Structure 1
Amino acid sequence: MPKTNAPKTDDAAKVPQVTLMFWVIKIAATTLGETGGDAVTLSMGLGYLAGTAVFAVAFAAAVAAQIGARRFHPALYWLTILATTTVGTTLADFADRSLGIGYAGGTALLTGLLALSLTGWRLALGTVSVASVTGARTEAFYWVTILFSQTLGTALGDWAADSEGLGYGGGILVFAGLLALVAAAYAWTSLSRTALFWAAFILTRPLGAVVGDFLDKPADAGGLDLSRYAASALLLAFVAACLLLVPQRPASSRH
């Protein structure tokens, strides 16, 4: 039999099954990434570069632990997601604001990087399905792709809310509406489930970004002016409660 580069998918993956609760936690986690990232860079005054360095270390440690794990651990998986969304927030803000490439430039750059990551993963391993995430090589592609998607989402959310003048409320409506279209396509069409998953995964990040900004930005800027620390703590408690109350199972090639 000829050798193949396709990953093994007969074992349970080290990522969760994609259920409604998966998306609830994902949106909460991405919102937490926005408020938590802003809490460190703005409220604590570390700035975007130092904040990115702090969260990059946390991201590297979380990914190393996730890849080194022998099986799916819900808390570890979502901790790694939180690490990607916080470093994505500060990295996008650093590129957009400190480097001066702007929201549109940052969005274009990160869209290209995300496309390259997904293409490279598909060419190297034959699939970008989450059910294939069972080994270190696949996980490396998975987490790089997620990092780019989380960073892109921050830039895209800021671009829509600020540069395009939608505001936080308008941005929430736009991205929630796009997610609803993806859900409708999943329910009523035969479009690729893998493509729809990644479309939804990417869109949850700008939704979380504008929700997070809506929660903690000043009232004169269209926000609720809540404490970034309090908002982050409440979101973290919500994510933890979801993990405790709703059991999560690993994805499988049978799903």
Structure 2
Amino acid sequence: MTTLADRAPMQNKVPEVTFDFWLIKLLAVTVGETAADYMNLDLGLGLSTTSWILSGVLIAALVLQFAQRKYVPWVYWVTVVLISVVGTLVTDNLVDNFSVSLETTTIAFSIALAATFALWYLVERTLSIHTIFTARRELFYWLAVLFTFALGTAAGDLVAEGIKLGYLATGFLFGGIIVAITLGYYLFGLNSILSFWLAYILTRPVGASLGDFFSQPDQHGGLGLGTTVTSFIFLAGIALLIGYMTLSQPRDQLDLGVNEAAPD
């Protein structure tokens, strides 16, 4: 009988940060925006019912993710898609059901995310995503990811709707900030961990703006494809990328879980 002591040590549970990583992350956050609207409005489930259903599915996905001993592309990215939807719904519930302003939710989630990072660093002495090889680090990681989606939703909606900048312009604004962060990292030595998490937060409003631009009707500044078509388009893109990541993953990682952790 295999015991816990006989199990292979946990390898890094987060993929390498490559172009593929950012592309599928952008697709995931776009689905987070449109899928929540699809279930809430198109299927008529309502915000509360949609939130309960998807929160339950997310918990199941997290249980499966934590049960892995290494990075498994489809498990990891399904969890990211679900947590992006739930993060969106957390903000939407606060704003729509509890009448909390977008300014307040943006500030509150900024504080919550900063507190998560502070506690994570206090306990682990690192915020590196290259060393997520303990359950405690993974717990901090997913909590931070949840708050980045909730914060990105609040900040994106605040700019697009509160300031009335519009979907497409909001996407370009936050996309420009990401470009500036990227240049800061490659040209001016901006800290890699800070650069990653800033870009991670900002891809949420970029993806949400992209989703709204595709799904919303012409009179609201969109292309009018609707949430159903938009969701399936981006879900198909995610599925193709997950398949590519799985097939391109080195054979030793697939079979043995070999994935050397990068130094902090």
Alpha-carbon contact 2:11-2:69 (below 8 Å) kept? no
Structure 2 letter corresponding to 1:132: T
Alpha-carbon contact 2:131-2:263 (below 8 Å) kept? no
Structure 2 letter corresponding to 1:37: A
Alpha-carbon contact 1:11-1:252 (below 8 Å) kept? no
Secondary structure, aligned partner of 1:198 = helix
**4+ residue segments displaced more than 2 Å:** 245-252
Alignment of 1:81-100 (within 5 A): 81-100=80-99
Per-residue Cα deviation, 1:175-232 (whole angstroms, up to 9, x for no partner): 1101101111121122210111001101101111111111112221111221211111
Quick check: 1:46 aligned with 2:55?
A: no
Offset, 1:248 = 4.6
Quick check: 1:57 aligned with 2:56?
A: yes
Give the structure, 1 or 2, with the largest relative contact order (CA under 8 Å, sep 6 or more).
Answer: 1
Aligned to 1:5: none
| Matches of 1:27 and 1:227, distance apart in 2 | 19
Q: Across the two proteins, how many residue pairs are aligned to each other?
A: 246
* CA spacing shift, 1:46–1:104, aligned 2, 3 Å: same
Alpha-carbon contact 1:128-1:194 (below 8 Å) kept? yes
TM-score, with length taken from structure 1: 0.92
| Matches of 1:212 and 1:248, distance apart in 2 | 29
| Identical-pair percentage | 34
Alpha-carbon contact 2:110-2:151 (below 8 Å) kept? yes
Aligned to 1:69: 68
Offset, 1:165 = 1.4
| Matches of 2:191 and 2:54, distance apart in 1 | 34
TM-score, with length taken from structure 2: 0.89
Aligned to 1:4: none
Quick check: 1:253 aligned with 2:262?
A: yes
Offset, 1:254 = 4.9
| Matches of 2:138 and 2:233, distance apart in 1 | 30
| Matches of 2:157 and 2:34, distance apart in 1 | 13
Structure 1 letter corresponding to 2:118: T
Per-residue Cα deviation, 1:95-145 (whole angstroms, up to 9, x for no partner): 112211121111111111111111111111111110121111111110011
Structure 1 letter corresponding to 2:228: Y
Aligned to 1:35: 34
Between Structure 1 and Structure 2, whose CA radius of gyration is higher?
Answer: 2
Aligned to 1:192: 191
Aligned to 1:176: 175
Greater mean alpha carbon deviation, residues 123-132 or residues 224-233:
224-233
Alpha-carbon contact 1:36-1:228 (below 8 Å) kept? yes
| Matches of 1:148 and 1:102, distance apart in 2 | 17
Alpha-carbon contact 2:10-2:134 (below 8 Å) kept? no
Offset, 1:27 = 0.4
| Matches of 2:187 and 2:216, distance apart in 1 | 38
| Matches of 1:190 and 1:214, distance apart in 2 | 34
| Matches of 1:34 and 1:224, distance apart in 2 | 15
Offset, 1:22 = 0.5
Consecutive unaligned residues of structure 2, counting only runs of 5 or more, are: 1-8, 251-258
Alignment of 1:133-144 (within 5 A): 133-144=132-143
